[in-house]
Amino acid sequence: MGLLRIMMPPKLQLLAVVAFAVAMLFLENQIQKLEESRSKLERAIARHEVREIEQRHTMDGPRPDAALDEEEDMVIIYNRVPKTASTSFTNIAYDLCAKNKYHVLHINTTKNNPVMSLQDQVRFVKNITSWKEMKPGFYHGHVSYLDFAKFGVKKKPIYINVIRDPIERLVSYYYFLRFGDDYRPGLRRRKQGDKKTFDECVAEGGSDCAPEKLWLQIPFFCGHSSECWNVGSRWAMDQAKYNLINEYFLVGVTEELEDFIMLLEAALPRFFRGATELYRTVGKKSHLRKTTEKKLPTKQTIAKLQQSDIWKMENEFYEFALEQFQFIRAHAVREKDGDLYILSQNFFYEKIYPKSN
């Protein structure tokens, strides 16, 4: 039998196309309304959770300022760069917060905008520094570096971060926008339905894989100045390097995440006690978030991106961060039988004067 074909008059075909388009617009509008409702619900739940915690602290009685020692007054900010294993690491903090007695708070910015308005910067700094009920606190979110000293703050929070090979990060983000990951597999992604591979995108000169999309780790470390977000700015890279050295307690790399966690546990046990063992026994299986349908780029694709001055700058920053991390690690651990062990205290005090009677 031949194929059965149903012929429709041109007018009916046009009406059918219009009806389909209207239906799609209606569905998109409903989806947008649902997303807005979900966002409002999440904010309401977050406000309720905050009120519960504050009420619980009020019932327990106020803590006098003198009782807040250095560790209890500590605040860590993890201004996480997208697609650098940030969710995997943050989940470690969530798993430990009850046991180690600290609070974890997600900084949820509208549309994941990493640049805060000036008034939001003031609010954020005030929250971080004066919100005693949330101390000790671990704040995380996709927000660029913010210099607390500009706002007259005497005690600044501790900044930490993780960065990744720039091309690997971009490839992961490209497929994440299209296929999501195994962390929330049912969530609809912005580019869902686009089956084009990263190689095809680069070959065709697509915007989602353009070298300009590599410019992200530098501005995240550079901060809220306009020049930080000027793609290819040498000043921005120099400022990012300065901040990494002078304003960040520790910056790890995705490729050596376990070592990053080990160093944090050794240096900041108030927050990370038990983190290394948790990551080794549970984290590698349950926490590592894998992007779905990701295809590794070809050598030709990588070579084409590496011709860009933007890649050269982002890669220079990545290599700079990697060198700093490896230097810190080399002075903090020793290797035995292929495993790393944290060094014990390697200094002591002597010749203490005046002598007591």
Phi, psi for residue 115 in degrees, rounded to 5: -105, 120
pTM for the full model? 0.80
User: Per-residue pLDDT for 183 more than 60?
Assistant: no
Segment 289-305 shows an average pLDDT of 83
Q: 234-266: per-residue pLDDT in tens?
A: 999 999 999 999 999 999 999 999 999 999 999
Distance (Å, whole) CA 234 – CA 163? 19
CA-nearest of 218, 250, 210 to 234 is 218
Instruction: Give, as one character, the DSSP assignment of residue 339.
Output: E
**Average confidence score pLDDT of the chain:** 86
Distance (Å, whole) CA 97 – CA 139? 12
Peptide bond into 136 cis (omega under 30): yes
Distance (Å, whole) CA 230 – CA 79? 20
For residue 118, what are its two tokens?
A: 């000036």
Query: What's the pLDDT score for residue 156?
Result: 95
Each domain of the chain, given as residue ranges in start order, spans 67-342
Distance (Å, whole) CA 330 – CA 323? 10
Instruction: Grade residue 285 by pLDDT with cuts at 50, 70 and 90.
Output: low
Q: Distance of alpha carbon 239 from its chain centroid, rounded?
A: 20
Neighbours of 353 (CB within 10 A): 5
Please give the positions annotated as active site.
140, 142
CA-nearest of 246, 243, 100, 253 to 166 is 253
For residue 206, what are its two tokens?
A: 């697509």
**What residues form DSSP beta bridges with 103?**
137
Exposure pattern of 75-85 as b/e (b: 16+ CB <10 Å)? bbbbbbbbbbb
Task: Decide the pairing of beta strands 339-342 and 333-336.
Answer: antiparallel
Peptide bond into 297 cis (omega under 30): no
Looking at domain 67-342, its CATH class is alpha beta
User: Per-residue pLDDT for 316 more than 90?
Assistant: yes
98 touches 132 (CB < 8 A): no
Query: What's the pLDDT score for residue 293?
Result: 67
User: Per-residue pLDDT for 162 more than 90?
Assistant: yes
For residue 332, what are its two tokens?
A: 């903090």
For residue 110, what are its two tokens?
A: 């509208």
Instruction: Grade residue 284 by pLDDT with cuts at 50, 70 and 90.
Output: low
Q: 15-65: per-residue pLDDT in tens?
A: 777 778 787 778 777 776 776 676 667 666 766 666 666 565 555 555 545
Look at residue 327 and give its three-state secondary structure: helix
Alpha helical stretches, state H, 145-292 = 166-179, 198-203, 217-222, 234-246, 257-267, 269-272, 275-278, 284-286
CA dihedral 87, 90, 96, 100 (to 10 degrees): -170
CA dihedral sign, ordered 308, 321, 300, 216: negative
In angstroms, what is the C-alpha Rg of the chain? 25
Task: Decide the pairing of beta strands 158-163 and 137-140.
Answer: unpaired
79 touches 159 (CB < 8 A): yes
